[in-house]
Each structure stands twice: as C-alpha cells, then as structure tokens.
Amino acid sequence: MTEDSRKRTFLGFDFSTQRLKAIVIGEDFGVLHEADVEFDVDLPEFRTAGGVVRGTDRGEVIAPPLLWVKALDMVMDRLVVAGVDFSIIEAVSGAGQQHGSVWWSKDAESKLGKLSPDEFLHTQLATAFVSDSPVWMDSSTTVDCKELEEAIGAEELAKITGSRAYERFTGPQIRKMFRKRPRVYQAAARISLVSSFACSLLAGKIAPIDLSDGSGMNLLDIRTMQWDEKCLQACGDESLSTKLGAPVPSATVVGSISPYFVGRYAFKPDCKVVAFTGDNCSALAGLRLRSGWVGLSLGTSDTLLLGLQAPAAPPAGHVLVGPTPAAPYMALLCFANGSLTRQNHRDRLAGTSWDAFNELLRATVRGNMGYMGIYYDTAEIVPRAGVGRWLVDAAGRGLDRPAPQFEARALLEGQALARRAHAEDMGFKLDKSSRVIATGGASVNKDLLQIFADVFDTPVYVQDQHANAALLGAAIRAAEVWSKESGIALPGSELKVSPVATPYPDHDKIYTPMLARYRQIIETIPKLG
Ligand SMILES: Nc1ncnc2c1ncn2[C@@H]1O[C@H](COP(=O)(O)OP(=O)(O)O)[C@@H](O)[C@H]1O
Ligand SMILES: O=C(CO)[C@@H](O)[C@H](O)COP(=O)(O)O
C-alpha cells in the first residue's frame, strides 16, 4: 500500500533501552515506514553498553538524556531518507522505557518553546538537564525502598500505588537524589519520565506524565489517579508535586506539534501530540489482549503483561493503571535478565549469530538431561538478587562449565521456568483457553518461543502485523485518540495473531519436576535488601 492511497498517517516512537524506533502507519494501521537508531552503534560518543552506563555507586545504572535527544535528531533524518511525507501525519505518540527519570533545568521549558528549526535539537538542549537519568536497571536504592515502606507500610504502599517499593521505581530514585544530591534535586524545575520527556521534545513544552507510566513510580494512587501526598512527602519535599506536574489519562492530546518540527520537517501545525506512555503499557495497548491472553515482551527485559478490570494490591509484581479504556488496569512482572543476558551468553557460547546459538539448543534434548541454570548478568528484579550464575546437573551438583549446548539450553529453560514460577506466585492463571502473545526483539526466535510454550503449557502466538507491539501500539494510540478527538472514524484493523509454538505432549513430564527444582534452587540464592 502506498502512502498516496492513504490520506492520513500517524507516527509512533519507542524510546526503549537499546534503541529509538519510529514507525509510520496509515488509516488502516498498516505499516508504511520504519527507522531506528541503535544507541551503542549509532551514537558511540555516549559510550553506552546496551543503551546504559554503569554508575559509580553499587547498582547504579544511568543514561545521558542528551543521548535520547540526539537519537531523535537522527531517527527523524532517517525517516526523511525513507521518504516520509510529514505533512500528512495527523498525530504522533510514543512509548518509553519505564521508570527512568529526566531532570530538567530551570530554563529548559523556555528553551523547548523557542527551538530554532535550523539547528539540531541536541545542540539547543545541551544544558537543559541537571543530571544523568537513572534508568530501570538501577538497583542502588534499596535503602530508599526500605525507608519508603517503613514510612507508608509495605502493604499499604502496595494498596495505594499497586506495588511495594522497588529499586527502579521513580519515587525511590527521586528519594535517593533528594538525600544524596540535594543540589540536583533543588536545581530541577521539573522531573519527567522517559516517556513524558520524549513527548516534551515533540510538543515543545514539558508534557504531563500519563497515568499508566505514572503508576510505575510508587507515588500515584491508582484508585484516585492523583499523586499520593504521603508518598510524595516520603520521597522528596513540598516542591515534588510541582516538579512532577499533574498526571493525565494516557488517551490525552497534550497539544500540537512544536513549531521546530513544522519548520524543520514540514509537519502541519495542527498535527496532534498524544501523551506518551511506558513501553510495556504501550505493548499492552498494541497487543489488545483478550481475556485469558498473557503478553510476553522479550525486549531488553522480559516482561509478562495482563489486562485487569480492577485494581489490586499485589504482594509481588505490579498493578498499573491501564493505557486504554478497554484495559482499565494491568498487571506487570519484569525480569531484568532478558535479551541482553541471552545475547551476552550467545556471544560467549556461539558467537554473534542467533542461528548458531539455536543450533546449540537443538544439539540437546528438552529438559536438558537435568542441567539447569540461573544467569543474572545484571541485578535481578524478580527475585531481588545480585549478579551471579548458578548451574547444576541432574543430581543437583554445582557445575562450572558444562558443554556449550547444555549451557545454552540451561539459560533459556531457566529463564522460562522463572517466568512461570513467579507469574504463578503473582496469581497469573493459565488454563486450556490461555494464550501467550510474544512481542519484542527476541519474539522472532521460534526455538526460544517453543521453550516458553512447553514450560507454560500454553501455545505461543505472535502478532502478524509487527514484532514490536510497543512501537505499533504508540502509533495506533496516536490514531485512535486523534480519531476520537476529531470525530473522524478510521477503518483501523483487527489484531491478527498466529501460533508459532505449541506445547509437546510430554511437556508436563519434563517441566513440572523442573519447576519444583527451580523453586528449590531459587531459595538458596542470596537475595538483595
Ligand atoms: N533472533 C533473535 N533471538 C533472540 N533474541 C533476539 C533475536 N533478535 C534480536 N534479539 C534480541 O532483541 C533485543 C532487542 O529487543 P528490543 O525489543 O528492540 O529491545 P528494547 O526494546 O529493550 O530496546 C536484543 O538484545 C537482541 O538480543
Ligand atoms: O522496568 C521495566 C518494566 O517495569 C522494563 O520493562 C522497562 O520498561 C524496559 O523495557 P524494555 O526496554 O526491556 O522493553
């Protein structure tokens, strides 16, 4: 389908951990153009590894916000080269890695409001930030989590905000800044999430935090949809609610596109900017999960997603406000050791090819003759644990270096078993009618999805239209919110998913005992905090 045959188009972005992706869709939600920027490869001057920089504090993980600004300049130029006609884009929206915070300087908003289209964004915003951004991989705020739970009560915090205190959540991160770098805290006029920061670049003003991503902060009351005063007080001072601004529903038009983009790329001045949201929230919107379907996002992190009709106070994992009226709430469980950990061990065991790694998997049997492994290359979130590697044989004896094929399968089976065990603990119920819908970079790997199908005893599907539901979801949200606001109906399209892996008949015999063994091994691993 050519762009000429579609009068209206919609633009979506995904500012995720390792790259910035952009997509243009038509009125039927068909994909017209795509471009992306890989931070480590395309912007080496920021010296990131996997899109992040390890800080000096134990567990500290940050990213320079100017990296994301420069990536936006770059991805826009790639869209130009791809032939995008920006004058027919009706609305723009986006997604961002969750929980990360961007600390704006006092003059940042005025800078955003008078950007010259003749210069790059990154040169004009070079002094708009007072700090690097702590991101979701950061695990340096255990003290702040403890003290926040002491101040509010752990169960009460989960009841109010949908989560107990978690290291990567923005409230504990703000608390650490307030406690350890008070001058930075005071110097910041506004604090954004990565999603609302990215939205601000497009809107030419500091954009509001949306309720869905905002519920990953330990600061939002997920029932009243307002910041909770006690949580704000426990994480900062009386200026914090001003720094954050009032949160808005995810389906909000925050304004028209910044004159910068009109002047530089010929957007029409009334192109709408719809609030950006968290990448997992956007994936839930993009996947349009039906009852009994569980989303499995295989990005840098592995994340399980489930739409909910009502809020809950989970003992583990998170309940967030949902990104669309169809999903008023959502459950989320995030594992820090996802694709990047798989990729590190692929490089070590098989070199840089996924085909070669999959060959290793095929060289051993399902169940791996009893070899099992747990690999944490970065501090794990579920369960809370530090970096480490635990490998055992069928008799439970510790191993140093089994043959590569055993390690390859031990890594992947161990990850899938962990996802299942902790999902069960959080109350995710899978039965005969369930489906897992996979998305994200690793969802193209059928051997990996087969392991998930067997371990979950559930068929795994992928979306036909696009492997990245967060990105597609961003553009679809732009289209749907624009359609509702303008009163102009769009043809849209139904979500189509296809099965890619179904459980083998003997999955239960193999994986039920392994699930029990996983639970035993996990008990022996030292936990953080
Ligand atoms: N064939 C594959 N098999 C397994 N993993 C893959 C494959 N292709 C890409 N990936 C993984 O996908 C990851 C990137 O996924 P993506 O969803 O773009 O991440 P993010 O959104 O967090 O930046 C990379 O870390 C890479 O290891
Ligand atoms: O912390 C979480 C979710 O709570 C992570 O899932 C981040 O949102 C990063 O997402 P990816 O880049 O891995 O998609």
Q: Which listed ligand is nearest to 162 at the C-alpha?
A: 2
Q: How far apart are CA 203 and CA 254, in angstroms?
A: 7
Q: What is the pLDDT of residue 430?
A: 81
Q: Which amino acid is at 228?
A: D
pLDDT at 4: 46
Q: Residue 289's pLDDT band (boundaries 50, 70, 90)?
A: confident
pLDDT attached to residue 370: 95
pLDDT(141) > 60: yes
The contacts of residue 322 (CB under 8 Å, 6+ apart) are 212, 281, 284, 307, 308, 328, 329, 330
Cα 251 to Cα 55, 63, 102, 226, distances in angstroms = 35, 28, 22, 16
Q: Which pLDDT score is estimated for 232?
A: 98
pLDDT in tens, 324-361: 888 899 999 999 999 999 999 999 999 999 999 999 99
CB proximity list for 484: less than 8 A, separation 6 or greater? 251
Report which ligand 2 atom has the smallest distance to the Cα of 51: 12
Residue 99 Cβ inside 6 Å of ligand 2? The answer reads yes
The three-point CA angle 255-265-29 to 5° equals 65
In tens, the pLDDT along 404-424 reads 999 999 999 999 999 999 999
> What phi and psi, each to the nearest 5 degrees, are found at residue 38?
-95, 120
- Topology of 3-280 in CATH? Nucleotidyltransferase; domain 5 (3.30.420)
Between the CA of 41 and the centroid of ligand 1 the distance, in Å, is: 14
With the most atoms of ligand 2 within 8 angstroms of its CB, the residue from 19, 98, 168, 377 to mutate is: 98
CA-to-CA distance for 433 and 515, rounded, in angstroms?
A: 21
Burial environment of residue 235 by CB neighbours within 10 A (0 to 12, 13 to 18, 19 or more)? buried
Ligand 1 surroundings by CB, under 6 angstroms = 16-19, 299-300, 339-340, 342-343, 354, 440-442, 444-445, 448, 468
Residue whose CA is at the smallest distance from ligand 1 atom 24: 339
Interface pTM, i.e. ipTM: 0.99
Mean pLDDT across the stretch 515-529? 90
Domains of the chain: which residue ranges?
Answer: 3-280
Going by alpha carbons, the residue nearest to atom 14 of ligand 1 is: 441
pLDDT of residue 484: 96
Closest protein CA for atom 1 of ligand 2: 136
Indicate which residue's Cα is closest to atom 10 of ligand 2: 97
For the cut 60, the answer to whether the pLDDT of residue 297 exceeds it is yes
Can you state the angle between helices 446-456 and 404-426, rounded to 10 degrees? Answer: 50
Ligand nearest to the CA of 97: 2
- Whether ligand 2 lies within 6 angstroms of the CB of 301 is answered as yes
* Ligand 2 atom at shortest distance from the alpha carbon of 318: 4
Summarised one tens digit per residue, pLDDT across range 466-507 is 889 999 999 999 999 999 999 999 998 888 999 999 999 999
What is the residue with the minimal CA distance to atom 5 of ligand 1?
442
pLDDT of residue 375: 97
Q: How far is the CA of 133 from the centre of ligand 2 (A)?
A: 15
Beta carbon of 168 within 6 Å of any ligand 2 atom:
yes
CA of 268 relative to ligand 2 center, distance in Å: 33
pLDDT tens column, 254-284 = 999 999 999 999 999 999 999 999 999 999 9
pLDDT of residue 354: 98
What pLDDT, on the 0 to 100 scale, is given for residue 2?
A: 46
